[in-house]
With several copies, the nearest count.
Chain A
Amino acid sequence: MGFKMSSADYVDYINYAAKIIEKDGEYITALDAATGDGDHWINMDTGLKKLVSMEKELSQLSLQDMMKKIGMTMMSVIGGSAGVLYGGSYIAASKVCAGKDVIDCDLLGEILEAMRLDIMNRNKSEPGFKTMLDALYPAVEAFKSGKDAGLEEKELLALIKQAADEGSKSTAAMEAVRGRACYQADKGVGHIDPGSVTMAYLIGALCDWATKLSN
């Protein structure tokens, strides 16, 4: 029996994800300081805390409106690259949620795909550019191949989480094309991209939450 995630469930997930991000400030800040401007953790932490503070309001919205509200909020509160990229991707995701009451496994795939497309279009980014996309892109691929292979839902969720995580780790070897690391002489080679780490955390947390609801 597959998971069914309502707006309220999604807000619970946001709460859960916010705690994961909050815990890892030192590490993520150090990653962004190594090749960027050191604010990525602050940005994400501020944005997620803002969403948590809006939990009442958000959980009462329809799925579509909630997604849109999350997007507008992240864009406005976070700013920077992460704000507009997450913000835009949530607004894109809101469109595929139109008329839906809950997120099920298929809709989850559609949401991730919509987000991926929006981020790629926003600033003409591709996988391999050493960005958050390098966590999101393989996650979507994993969803598709796992589906095709007829994996069980929990296995599928685990596969997505793992793909995001590995994708993030793989950014260490990449030369940056987007993001601040591209200003470095060495294009940030040797350093993991901070945006890919938070993206992998958020995807991982979402998979965990869905798995929990699967029981």
Chain B
Amino acid sequence: MKKIINNPNDVVSEMLEGFARGNPKIIYFPEFAVISRKEKKRKVGLVSGGGSGHEPAHAGYVGKGMLDAAVAGNVFSSPGPDRIIKGIKEANNGEGVLLIIKNYAGDIMNFELAKELAEMEDVQIEYVIVKDDVAVPDSTYSTGRRGIAGTVFVHKIAGAKAEAGGTLEEVKKVAQQTIDNIRSMGMSMSPCILPNVGKPAFELAENIMEIGMGIHGEPGVEKTEIGNASKIAEVLTNRILEDMDFIGSEVALMVNGLGGTPLMELYILNNEVSKILDSKNIKIHRTFVGNYMTSLEMSGASVTLLKLNDELKELLDAPSDAPSFHV
């Protein structure tokens, strides 16, 4: 394992400290692994979080126009309720707090428990659950779809609505509307290494890619021979388009890197995806290419489409000064 770390047990705290050090606009609560906005304002508070290893998620999305607090768990593990409660308290400015949760059993159980406990202290709390990963069939029986890169759009749009003075109900509504209109699909070409484990969880043969791998390195739905960029774009985009009808609509497009894939390749993938969307009469309103929701050093990428209407467009285009999402 080659990583720039000290003790594998300390990666999360040292990472957050390193994040906090270059960043005068945030406060870091080391005991709780919480990063929150310094500037307070009477508005709905937004809290997101989850396991670490997905940087810049979630701390990088704390800022004006996005999140008020980010709560970090251990690598790939949801934070416990005590941390989340701290995040809720820091985000609370008296107008209630919205939790943006990714659909993993661990996240949901911890955030729900935190919500219950924080409500006892008279904070008004609502939550939404992001489930954008079309690799997984949607299901009401099992946990259902995971939340992946599309979550960043939910942060952005709910954040803009809150910044604009929306009520908790309104912010929740637009967050849910965003979730209903997001679809993502990813692929991976190489594994990541948990600092504490020290070796890759799996190996992929030289010519194999894994479709639909989770952002925690959970195995994907299919291993196939690696195609060229055009083929990869086709597989990812078609899977999304099969799941939801985007034809004729305006979208926000995110081509997200998983951490180990260079920007050059993400741009090449963006080129192919954009060509497909053009050919299907899907208008790209805005494009985001970069590492937004990663899995440590995993190589690979995901594609996210968000169907826009006038309100979502306006909210997406509103300014944000979060360190890792400038608009």
Contact = CB atoms under 8 A, between A and B. Distances in A.
A205 B82 CA distance: 29
Interface residues of B, number: 40
Which label, helix, strand, loop or mixed, suits the secondary structure of the B interface?
Answer: loop
A33 interface: yes
B166 interface: no
A79 B78 contact: yes
Interface string B195-211: 01100011000000000
Centre residue among A79, A123, A182 by max chain B CB count within 10 A: A79
Contact of A81 (B79, B106, B142, B221): B106
Contacts of A82: 106
A122 interface: yes
Given A37-B217, A123-B109, A178-B143, A43 B81 contact: no
Nearest to B31: A76
B106 A80 contact: yes
Interface size class of A (residues with CB under 8 A): 35 or more
Contact of B219 (A35, A85, A88): A35
A132 to B, nearest CB: 11
B194 interface: yes
Interface stretch (B57-65, B69-77, B258-266, B270-278): B69-77
Interface string B172-201: 000000000000000000000010110001
Interface in B68-109: 73-83, 104-106, 108-109
A83 B77 contact: yes
A31 to B, nearest CB: 11
Which label, helix, strand, loop or mixed, suits the secondary structure of the A interface?
Answer: helix
Interface string A39-76: 10111001000000000000000000000000010011
B103 to A, nearest CB: 10
A88 B109 CA distance: 10
Centre residue among A37, A83, A87, A185 by max chain B CB count within 10 A: A37
A82 B204 CA distance: 28
Contacts of B109: 81, 84-85, 88, 122-123
B151 interface: no
B89 to A, nearest CB: 16
Contact of B197 (A29, A122, A184): A29
A38 B73 contact: no
A79 B49 CA distance: 12
Nearest to B144: A182
A102 interface: no
A179 B105 contact: yes
A83 B74 CA distance: 11
Nearest to B137: A185
A177 interface: yes
Given A84-B113, A180-B214, A79 B106 contact: yes
17 contacts: A33-B217, A37-B216, A38-B197, A42-B194, A42-B196, A79-B51, A80-B73, A81-B109, A84-B106, A85-B109, A122-B109, A123-B105, A176-B142, A182-B139, A183-B135, A183-B146, A185-B221
Given A87-B80, A178-B105, 10 more contacts: A36-B218, A37-B201, A37-B214, A42-B74, A78-B77, A79-B73, A80-B51, A84-B110, A183-B136, A183-B146
Interface of B: 9, 51, 73-83, 104-106, 108-110, 113, 133, 135-136, 139, 141-143, 146, 194, 196-197, 201-202, 214, 216-219, 221-222
Interface of A: 29, 33-39, 41-43, 46, 72, 75-85, 87-88, 122-123, 176-180, 182-185, 187
